Amino acid sequence: MIHRLEFEDLVRGALREDAPFGDPFGAGFRQEARGVFLAMEAGVFCGGDVAAEVFRQVDAAVSVTFVEEGRRIRPGERAGEALGPAGSLLRGERVALNFLQKLSGVATATARYAERVSPYGTRILDTRKTTPLYRALEKYAVRVGGGFNHRFTLSDGILIKENGIRAAGGIPEAVEAARRSAPHLSRVEVEVETLEDAEAAVLAGADAILLDNMPPETVAEAVRRFGGSVFLEASGGIRPENVEAYARTGVEAISIGALTHSAAALDISFELLP
């Protein structure tokens, strides 16, 4: 679930961006009309509450219904309906579709990965590589698609990456600095690119290791050597074609930035009925 407070202002801004001075054409159509949202390709539906908020802000007289979040939709299937003044439907359709297409695209991409690793119990995680101001929505779509959220913001946990290690002067120094500044319940994770650095992070007392851009064989070795003592996560260069090979290594989680930064929008259309 996602609360309306997490997207209400974003919807308001999107409507202002799309028609700052109203719709000079559609405003004249006050007769009742009905429209349908149609899936033009197969995917996982996501974003119905956000699209409904679009029409609520446009005109409270519009009523909208959608299929349930996370439902598999097929080409030609109705994903939702809207009833209200024709001008209001015209005013809200593009903004509503923008949200629906983007979020359904993220959910669909996530489901593609999650299905391939489900036999192994591996979690698919997102990252902070999100569209500015869309993070709450995109991370919600990841959950709808069967994935899990990594840290939500930079404030939520400590993931020491390459530049952080350089700033601290090394892995042991970075972990020590994190321990000094981290809240008591925060986990400290270190991103590494070699098994030697992974060992250094483990010896320094890291709680979790992100194995970055390692082939599955190296990840499997890391699981064998360190799996009993720290949480292991793989990331970098992971695609639908090779994600199962990574899951077979026994790594606990796989984080994929492409879930949010590169997911293709799902093709959904809106059509007024005659």
Token readout for 208 is 């979790």
Strands, E, within 148-223: which ranges?
A: 158-160, 188-192, 208-212
Average pLDDT, the chain: 97
| Nearest alpha-carbon partner for 164 in 196, 184, 190, 129 | 190
pLDDT in tens, 126-156: 999 999 999 999 999 999 999 999 999 998 8
pLDDT at residue 183, as a whole number:
84
Give the pLDDT confidence score for residue 235 in this predicted structure. Answer: 98
Least Cα distance to 55 among 33, 104, 88 occurs for: 88
- Give, for 259, the enclosing helix (H) or strand (E): helix 258-261
* Main-chain phi, psi angles of 227, to 5 degrees: -60, -30
Is 119-261 CATH 3.20.20.70? yes
Domain ranges in the chain are 4-113+263-272, 119-261
Q: Which pLDDT tens digit goes with each residue over 4-29?
A: 999 999 999 999 999 999 999 988 89
Structure tokens that stand for 41 in this block: 């390709």
Which residues partner with 270 through β-bridges?
Answer: 37
Confidence of residue 238 (pLDDT cuts 50, 70, 90): very high
pLDDT above 70: percentage of residues in the chain: 100
Catalytic sites, residue numbers: 94, 129, 161, 191, 212
pTM: 0.95
pLDDT at 185: 81
Q: State the pLDDT confidence band at 186, using cuts at 50, 70 and 90.
A: confident
Above pLDDT 90, what percent of the chain?
94
Strand ranges, E, within the chain: 32-39, 43-44, 63-66, 72-73, 78-85, 123-125, 158-160, 188-192, 208-212, 231-235, 253-255, 268-272
Query: Would you say 209 and 201 are in contact if contact means Cβ atoms under 8 Å apart?
Result: yes
The pLDDT assigned to 273 comes to: 96
Q: Is a pLDDT exceeding 90 seen at residue 184? A: no
Interatomic CA distance for residues 8 and 46, integer angstroms: 16
Q: Which fold has domain 4-113+263-272?
A: Aldehyde Oxidoreductase; domain 3 (3.90.1170)
More confident residue, 56 or 22: 56
Residue with tokens 């308001």: 12
Nearest to 138 by CA among 261, 266, 15: 261
In 205-249, which residue ranges form alpha helices assigned H by DSSP? Answer: 216-226, 243-247
Stretch among 73-77, 179-183, 242-246, 247-251 having the lowest mean pLDDT: 179-183
| 230 or 183: which leads in pLDDT | 230
